[in-house]
């Protein structure tokens, strides 16, 4: 089974066209079709395609039944620092949500600020606060209730960009 066959099945279920899916991904329908014919869709692109179609793809470890999840890098630059005597590193943590492109046009808000929520391997939430003046960047820990409110406000899409018209 190829990625094209899986994608075609998902398109049939959702009643969408291949051209529609290509445009949702920011690709031309012709280029998308060519890549499907050549079977040159990368794994991350395939997962993004399935996500656009509303299909969840999971990988499960046979022995343990544990769901395998890829590392989710954040949009912002790497920050590393201590909060409450614990070292946090955005490169080692999973990005959950961010406020980049909040207005749909500018990467940072009017004050030159943006924030990104992370969770580390021990389940601790922390916020990376970015500024256009990089000397003001900082990390701070947050409670799970604050993390939940941040996710509710900004969603879980990590890679955002200016809205296309």
DSSP lists the bridge partners of residue 136 as: none
pLDDT at residue number 104: 82
78 pLDDT above the threshold of 70: yes
The pLDDT tens digits for 82-135 are 988 999 999 999 899 999 988 888 889 999 999 999 999 899 999 999 999 999
The rounded distance, in Å, linking the Cα atoms of 83 and 104 is 31
CA distances from 90 to 37, 54, 86, 155 (A): 38, 28, 13, 19
> 72 falls in which pLDDT band (50, 70, 90)?
confident
Instruction: Answer whether residue 161 is part of any domain.
Output: no
CATH number for position 40: 1.10.260
Q: Which domain holds residue 113?
A: 72-154
pLDDT at residue number 138: 94
Looking at the structure, do residues 77 and 48 belong to the same domain, yes or no? no
pLDDT at residue number 69: 74
> 161 falls in which pLDDT band (50, 70, 90)?
low
- What share of the chain has pLDDT > 90, as a percent? 55
163 pLDDT above the threshold of 70: no
56 pLDDT above the threshold of 80: yes
Q: Which residue in this structure is represented by tokens 């912002």?
A: 76
CA distances from 136 to 87, 131, 139, 144 (A): 18, 6, 10, 24
Confidence (pTM): 0.59
Instruction: Answer whether residue 165 is part of any domain.
Output: no
Quote the number of domains for the chain: 2
Looking at the structure, do residues 10 and 53 belong to the same domain, yes or no? yes
16-36: average pLDDT: 92
């Amino acid at each position: 089974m190829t990625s094209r066959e899986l994608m075609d099945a998902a398109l049939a279920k959702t009643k969408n066209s291949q051209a529609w899916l290509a445009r949702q991904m920011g690709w031309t329908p012709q280029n998308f079709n060519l890549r499907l014919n050549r079977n040159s869709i990368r794994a991350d692109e395939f997962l993004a395609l399935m996500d656009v179609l509303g299909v969840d793809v999971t990988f499960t470890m046979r022995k343990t039944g544990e769901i395998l999840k890829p590392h989710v890098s954040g949009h912002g630059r790497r920050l590393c620092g201590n909060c409450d005597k614990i070292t946090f590193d955005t490169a080692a943590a999973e990005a959950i949500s961010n406020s980049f492109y909040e207005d749909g046009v500018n990467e940072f808000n009017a004050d030159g600020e943006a924030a990104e929520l992370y969770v580390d391997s021990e389940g601790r939430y922390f916020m990376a606060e970015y500024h256009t003046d990089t000397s003001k960047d900082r990390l701070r820990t947050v409670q799970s209730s604050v993390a939940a409110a941040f996710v509710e406000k900004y969603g879980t899409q990590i890679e955002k960009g200016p809205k296309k018209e």
